[in-house]
């Protein structure tokens, strides 16, 4: 027996330490830019077949959510088939429910969402990705866009999940922009958050929105990333302007070249802010982190090109319920491990590890 324990001990220690160990990028992937780009553009996540639901909202608009709720992970190779459970059957199983909020111009097909769902499903959990308004492939009905501090939307979506699953543990995970919105909601809602979810995780959140926008609009970032975001947002904004004449200035939208430009022309107008800086100040999650009242993990890489490390909150800026996990490398929603699908990587394992802690 002692010999068996000695043989198995290194394996057990390795399994327990896998996600807790600091992230280390492959030797061939140095720097925050490469760690961001390779993960975002060259990996796709596991093959997950979603079950889509459309939730009608009280304001007359809708949100499409995509469920991944199979109980047969990895039994069909690496393919996850759509489940046919009724809500009652799923509730009876008391499986944890994972709710994912994506980043700017993301959706349920974003590799980080699928990678986390793959890890969750392998444990028998159920998951849902909330596609923010206009991100599910169909324009939303109202002259409204999702934004970095949309706490009402976060509250509405989590309340809807709680109505469906009144007895299950619910975990919320937000990436990038979705992470900022989730953190802001946690701080604003205070103790009432505990009636909806048990734990939360924010990954690569632009906690200081102005610092993040300034960083994206400067230097190499302005060449590598900003045009991608602006070029993705511009057609949606122009389409919205055509549907609601006089709401937006088309010339400002067409001439927008930076994050500040598009937020001045679109987001701040629809949000009701004076300008982009006013919008950033009112929607940053950083001032609200001291008011969080449930276990929350904040994961950021110090070499994240979207969120300069010097603007990340310290332990003095957060409540005792918040765990700060700042990795030396990893990029923006990167933390690439290996493989085209980036499965079983450091990031999803770190998230699951935290959510499973007692």
Tell me the residue ranges of DSSP E strands in the chain.
Answer: 47-48, 51-56, 62-68, 79-80, 97-101, 126-131, 170-175, 199-203, 296-301, 322-327
- The one catalytic residue in 69, 214, 261, 304 is 304
For the question of residue 304 being annotated catalytic, the response is: yes
Catalytic: 122?
Answer: no
In SS3 terms, 196-252 reads as CCCEEEEECCCCCHHHHHHHHCCHHHHHHCHHHHHHHHHHHHHHHHHHCCCCCCHHH
Cα 24 from Cα 266, distance rounded (Å): 39
The three-state secondary structure class of 314 is coil
Strands 170-175 and 322-327 turn out to be: unpaired
Q: Is 115 a catalytic residue?
A: no
Written as six digits, the tokens of 199 are: 């734990």
b/e per residue 228-241 (b: at least 16 CB within 10 A): eebeebbebbeebb
Q: Which of 110, 115, 136, 176 is catalytic?
A: 176
Query: In Å, what is the CA distance from 324 to each residue of 27, 178, 202, 315?
Result: 26, 17, 10, 7
Q: Which residues are catalytic?
A: 176, 304, 332
């Amino acid at each position: 027996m002692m010999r068996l324990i000695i043989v198995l001990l290194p394996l057990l220690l390795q399994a327990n330490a896998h996600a807790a160990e600091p992230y280390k990028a492959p030797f061939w992937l140095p720097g925050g830019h490469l760690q961001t780009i390779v993960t975002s553009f060259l990996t796709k996540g596991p093959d997950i077949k979603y079950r889509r639901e459309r939730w009608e909202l009280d304001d007359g608009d809708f949100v499409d959510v995509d469920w991944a709720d199979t109980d047969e992970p990895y039994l069909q190779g690496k393919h996850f088939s759509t489940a046919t459970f009724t809500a009652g059957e799923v509730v009876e199983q008391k499986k944890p429910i994972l709710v994912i909020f994506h980043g700017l111009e993301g959706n349920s097909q974003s590799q980080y969402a699928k990678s986390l769902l793959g890890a969750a499903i392998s444990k028998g959990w159920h998951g849902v990705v909330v596609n923010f308004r206009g991100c599910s492939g169909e324009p939303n009905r109202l002259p409204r866009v999702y934004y970095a501090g949309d706490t009402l939307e976060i509250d509405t979506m989590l309340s809807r999940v709680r109505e469906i699953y009144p007895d299950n543990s619910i975990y919320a995970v937000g990436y990038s922009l979705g992470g900022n919105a989730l953190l802001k909601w946690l701080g604003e809602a205070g103790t009432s958050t505990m009636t909806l979810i048990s734990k939360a995780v924010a990954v690569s959140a632009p906690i200081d929105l102005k610092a993040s926008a300034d960083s994206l609009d400067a230097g190499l970032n302005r060449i590598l990333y900003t045009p991608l975001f602006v070029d993705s947002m511009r057609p949606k904004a122009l389409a919205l302007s055509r549907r609601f004449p006089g709401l937006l200035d088309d010339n400002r939208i067409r001439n927008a070249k930076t994050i500040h430009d598009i937020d001045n022309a679109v987001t701040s107008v629809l949000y009701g802010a004076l300008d982009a800086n006013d919008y950033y100040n009112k929607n940053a999650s950083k001032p609200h982190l001291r008011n969080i009242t449930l276990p929350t993990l904040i994961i950021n890489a110090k070499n994240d090109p979207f969120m300069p490390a010097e603007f990340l909150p310290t332990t003095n800026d957060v409540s005792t319920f918040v765990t700060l996990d700042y990795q030396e490398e990893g990029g923006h929603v990167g933390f690439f491990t290996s493989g085209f699908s980036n499965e079983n990587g450091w990031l999803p394992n770190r998230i699951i590890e935290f959510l499973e802690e007692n």
